[in-house]
Chain A
Amino acid sequence: MTARLSVTLKINGAERTAAVRPFDTLLTTLREDLALQGSKRGCNQGVCGACTVLIDGRPVRSCLSLTANCVDAEVTTIEGLAPEGRLCAIQKAFVETGAVQCGFCTSGMLLAAHACLQSNAKPTADDVKRALSGNLCRCSGYKKIVDAVLLAAEGGI
């Protein structure tokens, strides 16, 4: 059995310590060691976007990020978007618009959308589509997801 090493990560503003294997991905650490299961394991290949988290405010694939390489970074997971259970504007817009079906892609969509609005407060529909183009949804036609992000950007929530 491979020896584990203790790493301390800054996740959602708090320091969390985990005993990880050298090649564990951030997704594995979040889900299996830290009980943060909002980040989903879809393809585990960096294609689907369900595992998207923010590192230093920018969206990345947690399934392709080695945990031991994240010790200097600020990690934000979906659990960090709604501290104390209060939904953020984008989450409320997803509820309002009906942008959630099975929900598997939703946490990755929300974090990619959050990063999109952080860098561009007034995106066009095309801007939103480009920002979310790395996040796959197999239930919907994406329209309600894009509508939700635009609704949040308009401050309509």
Chain B
Amino acid sequence: MVAALHRPETLAEALGLLANEGARAISGGATLVAMMNASLAEPSVLVSLARISELRGFSRLPDGTARIGAMRLHRETAEESDLRDGQLIVALAARQIANATVRNMGTIGGSISFADPAADYPPALVAAHARVEIAGPAGRREVAAQEFFTGWYETALQSGEIVTAVLIPPAPAGTVAHYEKLARVSGDFAIASVAAVLQISGGRPAHVCLAIGGCGPAPVRVDAAEELLVSEGLTQAAIARAGDLIASHLDPLDDTRASADYRRKVVPRLLAKTLTALSRQPTDMS
């Protein structure tokens, strides 16, 4: 097949082109072009999503949901002043992606479609109870972030489908967020990361959502650890037990960044750091 780059202006046109055998969507190019340069990907037809205006915007839906278009740059999400309270977790994660130059290229849709388990958005979206909006040959659908990330670099996207937006539901009053990332050097992928969204009421956590990145094929959530922190509060003993519970549910690999054992040891410490930071944050309700 003759190599071709298409630059459609509408989503319908893009989906039509992506229905062709061998066609791949390209958003910011930060990962796909690097893979092409290394001969790890050799697509025959690329469909650039750069000119499709409906994929670019940020908007707030009537119910308070923040809608982040798939082609929104990491820089734009990092600087989004309208992401507050619990929704802030997505901006906090965006600020820690790579470096300023790469944040000018990479997009939220591209990043989550590639689904590197050590990337920053996956745990943040899970902790925010985000939904992923998808369009494809069979129309549009939404998938909860937790069901979107299905395996090592695998997602719920079917052939011919692309991510069109990420939807962040409104968080209740008194909700605070913190993203804690451990990396070898600034801008690297995470050895491990913790995305936490807590609703604090009367000085106690009324709702806790914790998602761990870099420690398995997809972000890890452990219901029992979250319930423990709600029932016992943010005491040192409860935080330590929650950390142990989470560590026992991780499924990390040994890789160039760290060993699996190291990740199991460090996650409880990252969790303690996260919850200590959050318990010091002022909230409307505490």
Contacts and interface: CB of A to CB of B under 8 A. Distances in A.
Interface residues of B, number: 27
B283 to A, nearest CB: 28
A63 interface: yes
A44 interface: yes
B37 interface: yes
Interface string A30-56: 000000000000001110010010010
A64 B5 contact: no
A130 interface: yes
A66 B26 CA distance: 10
Contact of B186 (A23, A49, A116, A133): A133
B204 interface: no
Interface string B1-39: 011110100000000000000000010111001101110
Residue among B4, B100, B101 having the largest count of chain A Cβ atoms under 10 Å: B101
Given A21-B3, A22-B4, A68-B7, A49 B101 contact: yes
Bin the interface of chain A by size: 20 to 34
Contacts, number: 86
B5 A68 contact: yes
Contacts of B75: 58
Interface in A129-143: 130-131, 133-135
B37 A69 contact: no
B48 interface: yes
A3 B2 contact: yes
B5 A134 contact: no
Given A25-B37, A64-B105, A112-B100, 11 more contacts: A22-B4, A23-B5, A23-B36, A44-B34, A61-B105, A63-B33, A64-B28, A64-B37, A65-B33, A66-B26, A66-B33
A-B pairs, top 5 by smallest CB distance, nearest first, are: A134-B99, A134-B101, A22-B5, A64-B33, A59-B101
